Structure formats: structure tokens, C-alpha cells
């Protein structure tokens, strides 16, 4: 069976839960926003196209602007034709789905609106089959998460003791530090059972991320090597080629550490470093991810200072496009000390990984757009080749490309024909070339999992809090530094020289992405 197989009778790739979606009413809060138009509704369309949604499935868009059902459907249809990752749109599929899409006008902080929403749900034409099987999607600004959860509970739409499943999807950010994350978790859990809260991180919906568990634990040739005896270090990179692009108001508060490190990078980190779970059920896998974060000791400031880099992009060009310096971006403080690049070195204090550094980096306005994990193995003894080889034997490496062009490649030493020297060569696996089946986008996979109550690919409350514990250490250190400027890096580079020195002082270097010539 192909990894990309989405037959509704087949189990999810990681979990044993069934994929068949029951009749459901999905309510999208923030329904006129960008996320709904670009990701959520196109995902529902592709699920319908792949026959993963039942006939009795309804979508209600909740937003404050006055709008009729037909106006809302037409707006979504226009967006679908623009943003769908398969073209052209199958109009027959869309027309059938859109007939079950409705609009509801209300304010997110108005408790009475939620009571009217409850009546709207009971009065849907599909309600006889749906019953009270509801999914609520908070595609709103984070400051509304708590209000929405409390108002849903007050209207009788949250988790109930009688076993009725009312599920809640929450988009990141899950707080802005440990304290706010704990407060948000308490608020959400006062309304919904933890098993009904789905904190969505779209990185976990990517096939290559899911395949990490299969790659590690279903292949006897890799798992025996996945430890301190054979691995020298691990690099995890999430590189963005764009600048803040109009998000200066949000980004100048969040920075790279809150925007990317706390969620995306730590998700990749934990899946790479986790121990074999007891089973493939959601809680077993999430238990092991949390153990990784708990095994990272809270770093002392003097130690963290040596293992941390932050920087901002200066002006420059990426391709033919001019990018202003970060401090010159719209809605950014001209004296801002917010980082657009962060690199940090962590160690996992357990038996498997003792002494193996994990280097994490992320940044904006970089030379290429990619996400990958690089496993760098220890250098083999070179005494056998010392007399004849003119170059040092290279370290083997394993490159796991998350995006774009999902792939896995292995570098190994091979003799150069006619010469007494070695050269690194590649063995490559590509999803697109190996599987002909439809490859779902992340939101499609995650929506199906939420609809059937499968939580493996969603972040649990304790994992969120452990990640914030570490990110707070960075911000506590930075808050005590008396500086006026940050190191700058050129747009179109791979970051500041300080990030290179972070590895070079240990005798290592960042692996260059394939998009960049050596």
C-alpha cells in the first residue's frame, strides 16, 4: 500500500484509528480570513474530491461581517480556484460540497452569538444524521482563543460528560511564553477535554515528517545506528526565503524563536530524537516526544550564551527582488531587537544521545526556502587510507527533506575512478518519483484526523509547555543583555557568520542545501 493512499477504509499512516469520517458539522471561526480561504476550505474540497467526506457533512463559517450563504459560497469558490493545489477545480465536486456550506454572522466575544449558533447547528438540513458531532476550528487571532472556548462551553457546545464528542482545533501560536501557554491550556481544558483539543501544527501533516517514525523503526539498517555511538551531530533547518511581508506587527513581537523554533523545529527535533514508542497509538508517541524535551536541562545563562545566535536581515536582494532591512519593514520598530534568525545548540541528556549536539536554525530572507533534517555520522577511522588517499575520508550523512520536494538521501564515500581518493556520492529517494498516488497536503491529513478523533499528529498540552520552557530561557537571557544592535546578515545568504562559527568552533559546518551551488 502506498504511503500516500487515502482510501477511507485504510488506517491512518501512524495510528490504527479508522479514516472514515462520520457525519459532522464543522464550524470555522474567522471564516472570512486568509487561512480559511487559502488552506482550510481547499482542504475540505480535496477531501470531498477524494471521497473522504460523507454526504451529510456541513460547514458553517462564523465571522462578524454581514454576508449571505450565497455570497460566502461564491467568495470561497473564487479562493478555491486560486489556491487549490490541483487545477482545474472539479466544479461538480465543489458545487456538491458548497451546497452544504452556510454562513453565520456573530462576534467572537458575544456569548449570545454562540447560543444562536447552537440553534443554527440543530436546525441544519443535515442535522438528523449529524446529531451533535461538531468540530470547531479557531482560525482567529490568538487573543480570541480563550473567549471562544468559554463561550462554546456556556452555550453547551464544548465537551460533555455524556460522551458526546465536540472537538476544538486551535491554530498556533499556543501562547507567547510558558506562563501564557499554561493559562491558555487551563482555559481550553476548562471547556474541552484534552482528548478533544487539537493544537494544529501543519508541519506534522507533511508525509515526510510522518514517515520519520516508519523510517527509523521499520528499517533494521538505521535504528541500530541511531545513537551516540555512530551519530556525530544532528542539524535541523527551517529556512524561509521571504521577509516578514506585511506581518511586521505580529513578527516584531514574536521573532523567529516564538514563530518557528517553539513549534516547527521542536516538532522535528522530538520526532528525530524520540525513543521507540510502546505502540503506534497517539498517547504512546506523544509521551516519547515529551520525554525528549524533558531530557533537555534548563540551560544556565553562561552556557546558553555560548550556544545561541540571533540576528536580523539587512537590506539586499533575493533574486531580482529588493528586500528592505528588517528595521525598515512596515510596522517594525526602527530600533527593534527582534531576531529574524536564530540558531541554538541543544543536547539531550539521556542514554541514547549523551554528548550528541542538536543544532537548530531558522530564519527569514535566506538564500533558499527549505526544511530538512541532517543526520551527520561520525567519521570512520582513516588509518587504512592514510598512505594512499589524498583527502580525508568524509562523514556519512542522511538528509531528510521535509519541503520542498520531499525526499531522503544518503551520502557515502566512493572511490574516484583513476584516483587514490574518495568522494561523497548520493543515494536518493523521492516521494514524487516513487509514489504515483495522490499526495495530500498537510491540512487535508490533519483535518481528517481531527474529524475522526485521531490526535497523534497534534501537540499535547505538556509538550507545548516544555517547548516554551526552553524558548523562555532564550528570551530571559536576551532581556538581560544591554545591546542596541544585533548582528546583521545579507538577504539571500544563509544567515550570519556567527551561526557558522557556532559549528566551526566544534569542528563542524552546516550542510548546504542542494539549491545552492558549492
pLDDT at 293 over 60: yes
Integer Cα distance of 210 and 40 in angstroms = 20
Q: Output the pLDDT for position 9.
A: 36
The answer to whether the CB of 135 falls within 8 A of the CB of 169 is yes
24-200 CATH: 3.40.50.720
Cβ distance 126 to 56 under 8 Å? Answer: yes
What's the mean pLDDT in 382-405?
A: 78
pLDDT band at 15 (very low <50, low <70, confident <90, very high): very low
Give the cell for residue 195: 482528548
pLDDT band at residue 269 using 50, 70 and 90 as cut-offs: very high
Is the pLDDT at 124 greater than 70? The verdict is: yes
Of 46, 446, 452, give the one whose Cα is nearest residue 267: 446
- pLDDT for the residue 18: 43
Mean pLDDT in residue range 414-432:
84
| Domain covering 205-377+460-504 assigned CATH 3.30.360.10 in the classification | yes
Instruction: Check whether 518 has a pLDDT greater than 60.
Output: no
Per-residue model confidence as pLDDT tens digits over 465-516: 999 999 999 999 999 999 999 999 999 999 999 999 999 999 999 999 988 8
The region of weakest confidence among 72-81, 142-151, 414-423 is 414-423
pLDDT above 70 covers a percentage of the chain that reads: 94
* Percentage of the residues of the chain whose pLDDT score is greater than 90: 75
- Total Cβ atoms within 10 A of residue 448: 23
Residues belonging to the active site = 264
User: What mean pLDDT is predicted for residues 230-243?
Assistant: 97
Of the listed ranges 40-54, 85-99, 208-222, 389-403, the least confidently predicted one is 389-403
Neighbours of 294 (CB within 10 A): 15
Integer Cα distance of 185 and 174 in angstroms: 8
Where do you find CATH 3.40.50.720 in the chain? 24-200
Which 3 state secondary structure label does DSSP give 360?
A: strand
Average predicted confidence (pLDDT) for the chain: 91
What is the per-residue pLDDT for 390? 52
Is the pLDDT score of 182 beyond 90? Answer: yes
pLDDT tens, 44-83? 999 999 999 999 999 999 999 999 999 999 999 999 999 9
Positive or negative torsion for Cα 180, 182, 184, 187:
negative
Q: What is the pLDDT of residue 414?
A: 87
d(CA 301, CA 474): 9
Every domain of the chain with CATH number 3.30.360.10 lies at 205-377+460-504
Of the candidate ranges 13-27, 154-168, 299-313, 480-494, the one whose mean pLDDT is the lowest: 13-27
Range scoring the smallest mean pLDDT among 47-56, 377-386, 407-416, 490-499: 377-386
Amino acid at each position: 500500500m502506498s504511503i500516500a493512499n487515502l482510501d477511507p477504509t485504510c488506517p491512518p499512516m501512524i495510528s490504527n484509528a479508522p479514516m472514515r469520517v462520520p457525519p459532522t458539522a464543522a464550524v470555522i471561526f474567522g471564516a472570512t480570513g486568509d487561512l480559511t480561504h487559502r488552506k482550510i476550505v481547499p482542504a475540505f474540497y480535496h477531501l470531498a474530491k477524494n471521497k473522504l467526506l460523507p454526504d451529510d457533512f456541513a460547514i458553517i463559517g462564523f465571522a462578524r461581517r454581514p454576508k449571505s450563504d450565497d455570497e460566502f459560497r461564491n467568495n470561497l469558490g473564487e479562493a478555491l480556484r486560486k489556491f487549490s493545489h490541483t487545477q482545474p477545480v472539479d466544479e461538480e465536486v465543489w458545487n456538491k460540497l458548497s451546497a452544504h456550506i452556510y454562513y453565520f454572522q456573530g462576534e467572537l466575544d458575544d456569548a449570545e452569538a454562540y447560543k444562536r449558533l447552537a440553534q443554527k447547528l440543530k436546525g441544519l438540513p443535515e442535522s438528523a444524521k449529524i446529531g451533535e458531532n461538531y468540530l470547531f476550528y479557531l482560525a482567529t487571532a490568538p487573543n480570541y482563543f480563550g473567549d471562544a472556548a468559554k463561550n462554546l462551553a456556556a452555550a453547551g457546545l464544548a465537551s460533555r460528560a455524556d460522551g458526546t464528542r465536540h472537538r476544538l482545533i486551535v491554530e498556533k501560536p499556543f501562547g507567547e511564553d510558558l506562563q501564557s501557554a499554561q493559562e491558555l491550556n487551563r482555559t481550553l481544558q476548562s471547556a474541552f477535554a484534552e482528548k478533544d483539543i487539537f493544537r494544529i501544527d501543519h508541519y506534522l501533516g507533511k508525509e515526510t515528517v510522518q514517515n520519520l517514525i516508519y523510517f527509523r523503526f521499520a528499517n533494521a539498517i538505521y535504528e541500530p545506528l541511531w545513537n551516540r555511538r555512530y551519530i556525530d551531530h544532528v542539524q535541523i533547518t527551517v529556512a524561509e526565503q521571504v521577509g516578514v511581508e506585511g506581518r511586521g506587527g505580529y513578527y516584531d513581537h514574536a521573532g523567529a524563536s516564538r514563530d518557528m523554533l517553539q513549534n516547527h523545529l521542536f516538532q522535528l527535533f522530538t520526532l528525530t530524537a524520540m525513543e521507540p514508542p510502546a505502540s503506534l497509538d497517539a498517547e504512546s508517541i506523544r509521551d516519547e516526544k515529551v520525554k525528549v524535551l524533558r531530557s533537555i536541562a534548563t540551560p544556565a545563562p553562561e552556557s546558553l550564551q555560548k550556544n545561541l545566535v540571533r540576528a536580523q536581515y539587512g537590506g539586499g536582494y533575493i533574486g531580482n527582488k529588493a528586500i528592505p532591512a528588517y528595521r525598515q519593514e512596515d510596522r517594525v520598530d526602527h530600533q527593534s531587537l527582534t531576531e529574524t534568525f536564530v540558531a541554538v545548540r541543544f543536547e539531550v541528556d539521556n542514554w541514547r544521545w549523551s554528548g550528541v549536539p542538536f543544532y537548530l536554525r531558522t530564519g527569514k530572507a535566506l538564500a533558499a526556502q527549505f526544511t530538512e533534517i541532517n543526520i551527520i555520522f561520525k567519521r570512520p577511522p582513516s588509518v587504512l587510507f592514510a598512505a594512499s588517499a589524498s583527502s580525508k575520508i568524509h562523514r556519512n550523512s542522511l538528509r531528510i527533506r521535509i519541503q520542498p520536494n520531499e525526499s531522503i538521501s544518503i551520502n557515502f564515500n566512493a572511490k574516484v575512478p583513476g584516483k587514490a581518493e574518495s568522494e561523497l556520492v548520493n543515494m536518493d529517494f523521492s516521494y514524487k518519483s516513487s509514489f504515483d498516488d495522490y499526495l495530500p497536503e498537510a491540512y487535508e491529513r490533519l483535518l481528517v484526523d481531527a474529524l475522526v478523533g485521531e490526535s497523534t499528529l497534534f501537540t499535547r498540552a505538556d509538550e507545548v509547555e516544555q517547548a516554551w520552557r526552553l524558548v523562555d530561557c532564550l528570551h530571559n537571557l536576551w532581556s538581560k543583555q544591554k545591546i542596541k544592535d544585533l548582528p546583521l546578515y545579507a538577504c539571500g545568504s544563509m544567515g550570519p557568520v556567527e551561526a557558522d562559527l557556532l559549528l566551526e568552533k566544534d569542528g563542524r559546518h552546516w550542510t548546504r542545501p542542494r539549491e545552492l551551488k558549492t
